[in-house]
């Protein structure tokens, strides 16, 4: 699904194309030469910790902030220096930002009125959109009379009313409580699919990004760390930052051995996923996800470690077991076990547990010195 996106992008000019966008606030560099494209109909998430520049990037696309260098193109049109009103997008803010003095219907009509649409068309379109978000009966209520989820749906309807070619979502779900958030997540995704509108969503919630996006742009310190489909980001993180930010990762400080594909952690030599060959003695970081560690198996003879269970954490669908390796140079390892695997192994705190780190799962990252 995600792999087909670049071909679609070739057929039509991308909904958004950023070329070397740079933004500084005084001495602080918020964005450093960001380039990326969003294909027509694609759902892209900007994911990153707070302060990574993802919201600034969205605001630059929206024209609410002006970049210091670089270009913004929409459907092939250079909009770099155009005001927000001439960019044809809809935006939903984190905390709704509905006009408190206008009813739901007037809020939705706002963008249409600003574009001087005929009054009858406006009224018709407002009904249509409130219907779309399931709030037709709430058309005459004021924002203060609506719940958080309802307000955000009105905001969504308001953004979509002028039929924009691009939808921007600035952490639209973070102000809502968990249940409403999950419901609205599916709703937004379905709506986006149905309308086929190119969408950019900013979020710091990796789960949100993984479930909703066609492609994820992971950002850190104003730089794009990795762009890829959710599965790719999760299984093939290209940097340690991405590996640790998306999902859990056991991290082991190691040095490369002279044998290619091997690294040494203290006294233990581990075979790793084959990557670009590095010189011997280079400091690297090894990473393996908790659910990738195998327990008690004897068939895998490579990368075997014996440890002692130091704590057991029940997390519902799976159980997280922390294992202290017998070799003191190895850090505490987290292993996620399915409920049945946990029961089969009969794990108790303090018991000895053999582990295996499958070599093709042990990723190698450069360690900054």
- Binding residues for other proteins (CB under 8 A): 62-64, 83-86, 89-91, 93-95, 97-102, 110-111, 113-115, 144, 158-159, 162, 175
Q: Which residue, 92 or 355, is less far from other proteins as judged by CB?
A: 92
Closest contact distance (angstroms) between CB of 22 and other proteins is: 20
Q: Which residue, 144 or 328, is less far from other proteins as judged by CB?
A: 144
Closest contact distance (angstroms) between CB of 173 and other proteins is: 14
Closest contact distance (angstroms) between CB of 39 and other proteins is: 22
Q: CB within 8 A of 315, min separation 6: which ones?
A: 336
Give the H or E element holding residue 21.
Answer: strand 16-25
Q: Which residue, 108 or 229, is less far from other proteins as judged by CB?
A: 108
Please, which residues bridge with residue 36 across strands?
18
Closest contact distance (angstroms) between CB of 164 and other proteins is: 10
Closest contact distance (angstroms) between CB of 204 and other proteins is: 16
Q: Which residue, 199 or 319, is less far from other proteins as judged by CB?
A: 199
Q: Which residue, 91 or 364, is less far from other proteins as judged by CB?
A: 91
Q: CB within 8 A of 271, min separation 6: which ones?
A: 261, 262, 302, 303, 359, 362
Question: In this structure, what DSSP letter does residue 93 have?
Answer: B
| Separation of alpha carbons 17 and 77, rounded Å | 9
Residue 190 has φ and ψ, to the nearest 5°, of: -65, -45
3-class DSSP assignment, residue 265: strand
Q: Among all chains, which residue has been given the structure tokens 């969205």? A: 58
Q: Which residue, 101 or 186, is less far from other proteins as judged by CB?
A: 101
| Separation of alpha carbons 367 and 369, rounded Å | 6
Closest contact distance (angstroms) between CB of 108 and other proteins is: 10
């Amino acid at each position: 699904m995600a792999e087909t996106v670049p071909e679609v992008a070739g057929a039509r000019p991308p909904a958004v194309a950023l070329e070397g966008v740079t933004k500084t606030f005084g001495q602080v560099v918020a964005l450093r030469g960001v380039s990326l494209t969003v294909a027509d109909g694609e759902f892209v998430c900007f994911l990153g910790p707070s302060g990574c520049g993802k919201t600034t990037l969205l605001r630059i696309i929206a024209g609410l902030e002006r970049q210091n260098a670089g270009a913004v193109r929409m459907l092939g049109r250079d909009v770099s220096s155009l005001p927000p009103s001439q960019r044809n997008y809809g935006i939903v803010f984190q905390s709704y930002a509905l006009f408190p003095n206008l009813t739901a219907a007037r809020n939705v009509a706002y963008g249409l009125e600003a574009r001087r649409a005929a009054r009858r068309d406006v009224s018709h379109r407002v009904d249509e959109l409130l219907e779309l978000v399931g709030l037709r009966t709430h058309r005459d209520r004021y924002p203060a009379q609506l719940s958080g989820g309802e307000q955000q749906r009105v905001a969504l309807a308001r953004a979509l009313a002028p039929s924009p070619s691009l939808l921007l979502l600035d952490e639209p779900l973070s102000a809502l409580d968990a249940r409403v958030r999950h419901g609205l997540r599916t709703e937004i995704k379905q709506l986006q699919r149905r309308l086929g509108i190119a969408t950019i969503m900013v979020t710091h919630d990796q789960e949100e990004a993984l479930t909703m996006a066609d492609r994820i742009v992971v950002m850190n310190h104003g730089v794009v760390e990795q762009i890829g489909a959710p599965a790719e980001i999760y299984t093939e993180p290209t940097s340690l930052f991405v590996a640790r930010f998306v999902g859990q990762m056991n991290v082991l400080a190691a040095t490369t051995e002279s044998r290619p594909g091997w690294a040494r952690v203290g006294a233990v030599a581990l075979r790793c996923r084959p990557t670009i060959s590095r010189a011997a003695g280079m400091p690297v970081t090894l990473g393996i996800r908790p659910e990738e560690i195998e327990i008690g198996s004897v068939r895998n003879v490579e990368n075997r470690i014996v440890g002692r269970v130091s704590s057991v954490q029940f997390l519902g669908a799976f159980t997280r077991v922390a294992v202290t390796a017998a070799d003191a140079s190895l850090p505490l390892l987290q292993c996620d076990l399915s409920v049945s695997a946990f029961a089969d192994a009969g794990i108790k705190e303090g018991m000895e547990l053999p582990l295996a780190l499958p070599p093709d799962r042990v990723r190698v990252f450069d360690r900054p010195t």
